Amino acid sequence: MSSTALPKRVALHRNPTTDSSVASSIAPSPMDSPRQSPSTTSLSSLASEAEARSKMLDTYGNEFKIPDFTIKQLRDAIPAHCYERKALTSLSYVARDLFCLATVFYVFHNYVTPENIPSTPIRTALWAFYTVVQGLLGTGVWVLAHECGHQAFSPSKVLNDTVGWVLHSALLVPYFSWKISHGKHHKATGNLARDMVFVPKTRSEFATRVGRAVHELNELMEETPILTALNLVLQQLFGWPMYLLTNVTGHNNHERQPEGRGKGKKNGYFGGVNHFNPSSPLYEAKDAKLIFLSDLGLAITGTVLYLVGSKFGWMNLLVWYGIPYLWVNHWLVAITYLQHTDPTLPHYHPDVWNFVRGAGATIDRDFGFVGRHIFHGIIETHVLHHYVSTIPFYNADEASEAIQKVMGNHYRTEAHTGWTGFFKALWTSSRICQWVEPTEGAEGESAGVMFYRNINGIGIPPAKVAQ
């Protein structure tokens, strides 16, 4: 499928040594254009200036247009049978994935042994391969539980939540706790004040992190590739547990919660915002029993793992479950990060956000055989998923093609880059997408549409801010 996203995909590099007081040739601010004297100003020139001030440019300098379609147009474009959820079909995928997990374990446990493979280095390499394969298959199981959380698994809510609770608990995911917070993410995608997943830093937040004043960002030296790589590794290793424990990457506006449960609570260690405490501001009082049930699922899994480790050895448990678990976390964070982080994607100030705009601030990619058949298409059809999350994954391709005809150039995809492009995007987004701000000179509604900027000399330079 060819890309219908804006075509200019090559990152434009700025010269980091260039004086920040010189206007960029990539995308000069509309305010830098010479103004005509009042005596020569025409109505057409005034209209041109107004249009310039409403122009929005993504990181690459492509002009962005706010989506102009409706959710009804999207839903009407999707064939009716795509909405059908079939319990037997969904359960067959669960059975398939669990069978694959069990088969891989059986083969390695019985045949990758000192008796069959005396060479320690070869045996170690094979078991390392085992952890990668089980991590991929475990991620597929995670995605099926994700289907349950969105009620896309079957028409039965009881079946959905039962299967989802079992599968997610087995992967040490608090099913109902995550389901509730994830639902809030879907309701507020792209909203800088309310989104729950990978909320980008604002300019001031980024400046605080690097210990500089806001106006100094134009003058900062490039972040070293080593530091970028270190941040990326930390994100992939610890991003998921940190999200569950401290709500890192989620919004931090808990004081505004109507019930008052967010009073005095902030993201971070011991801030009272996590996915395990029923009194967390992520939830309402009525959710308490579901949070307890989620914690019970984790306790059961933890008990089973303890018994296995005690009987068969902790090193075996690490290889059998622990390292594959880390691989699952890696894939989960990578997938989610790249669904919502890209130089072409906008984020919205709450005053200009609405559901259609926010749901469109996502991007599809392609991860080849693994993405389609092991990860159940969660990478390839995520834009559709944000508009209609109850469509089961096995109908998502057809539904995705249908809505693309309505979305036109508003649809974002990097599918043409293939599975290698997925890995490249991890690095590219880490280098480019550091904070969001409006296009320099934008006024009115356009001033509430934010785009990624960076200090690494890539793409549109940061706006100049007076001291």
Per-residue pLDDT in tens (0 to 9) along the chain, 467 residues: 444 444 344 445 444 333 333 333 333 333 333 334 444 445 555 445 555 567 899 999 999 999 999 999 999 999 999 999 999 999 999 999 999 999 999 999 999 999 999 999 999 999 999 999 999 999 999 999 999 999 999 999 999 999 999 999 999 999 999 999 999 999 999 999 999 999 999 888 888 876 665 555 555 556 788 888 898 999 999 999 999 999 988 998 898 777 778 888 889 888 989 999 999 999 999 999 999 999 999 999 999 999 999 999 999 999 999 999 999 999 999 999 999 999 999 999 999 999 999 999 999 999 999 999 999 999 999 999 999 999 999 999 999 999 999 999 999 999 999 999 999 999 999 999 999 999 999 999 999 999 999 989 899 999 887 66
In a domain, 312, yes or no: yes
In a domain, 54, yes or no: no
CB atoms closer than 10 angstroms to residue 115: 6
Q: Provide the terminal-to-terminal Cα distance of the chain, rounded to the nearest Å.
A: 48
272 forms beta bridges with: 266
Tell me the two tokens of residue 91: 């359960």
Count of domains in the chain? Answer: 1
Buried/exposed code over 151-181 (b: 16+ C-beta within 10 A; e: otherwise): bbbbeeeebbbebbbbbbbbbbbbbbbbbbb
pTM of the model: 0.85
In a domain, 134, yes or no: yes
Residues 462 and 207 sit within 8 Å (Cβ to Cβ): no
Residue with tokens 């001291």: 467
In a domain, 75, yes or no: no
In a domain, 279, yes or no: yes
Tell me the two tokens of residue 152: 């896309």
Range of the domain at 398: 86-344+351-430
CB atoms closer than 10 angstroms to residue 236: 19
Tell me the two tokens of residue 326: 């880390």
413 forms beta bridges with: 364
In a domain, 5, yes or no: no
Distance in angstroms (rounded) separating the CA atoms of residues 456 and 256: 35
In a domain, 22, yes or no: no
Q: How far is CA 2 from CA 364, 396, 417, 424, in A?
A: 12, 17, 10, 19
Show the beta-strand stretches assigned E in 292-432. 347-348
* DSSP assignment of 168-231: HHHTT--HHHHHHHHHHHHHTTTBTTT--S-PPPBHHHHHHHHT--GGGGGGPPPPPHHHHHHH
Tell me the two tokens of residue 309: 């480790």
In a domain, 76, yes or no: no
Tell me the two tokens of residue 267: 């993201």
Q: How far is CA 315 from CA 101, 114, 123, 172, 321, in A?
A: 19, 16, 15, 19, 10
